[in-house]
């Protein structure tokens, strides 16, 4: 059992280890950065710091009905980024991962009360975006 922040992107359920989460914030005003990858919505000013905002739905290949509502500010290896999500559903413990990840960006998946939850691999998400577009 470990602690996770659970959240929703489109109608899919995901979780991320709390160790990677700095805070949950509003989406704020996001300034697009022309020339960046399509999965990066832009940058926002988070208390004087420039924070890149990742369009998690685009990165995970899910389809979202409306604009994202919340920002999950995450950190890994000194890199920080906001993950644009729809909403945080819960913070709490989750059972151990049931399966090995079949997806590049997931640590694994698990089933809880009939809901499939994907556990996000934050360093992998950052790595996937770090190269040239």
Check residue 20 for interaction with other proteins (CB under 8 A): no
- For 8, what's the count of Cα atoms within 13 Å in the CB-facing half-sphere? 13
**Shortest gap between Cβ of 31 and other proteins (angstroms)?**
4
Residue whose structure tokens are 């691999």: 121
The interface with other proteins within residues 65-84 (CB under 8 A) comprises: 79-81
Check residue 131 for interaction with other proteins (CB under 8 A): yes
- For the purposes of burial, counting CB atoms within 10 Å of the CB of 17, is it exposed (0-12), middle (13-18) or buried (19 or more)? middle
Q: Which is nearer to other proteins, 2 or 45 (CB)?
A: 45
Binding site for other proteins (CB under 8 A): 29, 31-38, 40, 43-45, 48-50, 52, 54, 79-81, 126-133
């Amino acid at each position: 059992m470990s602690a996770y922040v659970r959240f929703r992107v489109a109608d899919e359920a995901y979780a991320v280890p709390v160790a990677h989460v700095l805070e949950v914030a509003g989406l704020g005003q996001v300034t697009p950065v022309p020339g960046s990858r399509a999965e990066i919505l832009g940058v926002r000013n988070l208390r004087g710091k420039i924070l890149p905002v990742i369009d998690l739905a685009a990165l995970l290949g899910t389809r979202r009905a409306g604009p994202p509502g919340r920002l999950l500010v995450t950190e890994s290896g000194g890199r920080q980024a906001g993950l644009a999500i729809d909403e945080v559903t819960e913070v709490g413990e989750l059972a151990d991962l049931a399966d090995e990840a079949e997806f590049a960006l997931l640590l694994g998946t698990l089933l809880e009360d009939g809901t499939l939850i994907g556990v996000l691999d934050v360093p992998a998400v950052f790595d996937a975006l770090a190269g040239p577009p």
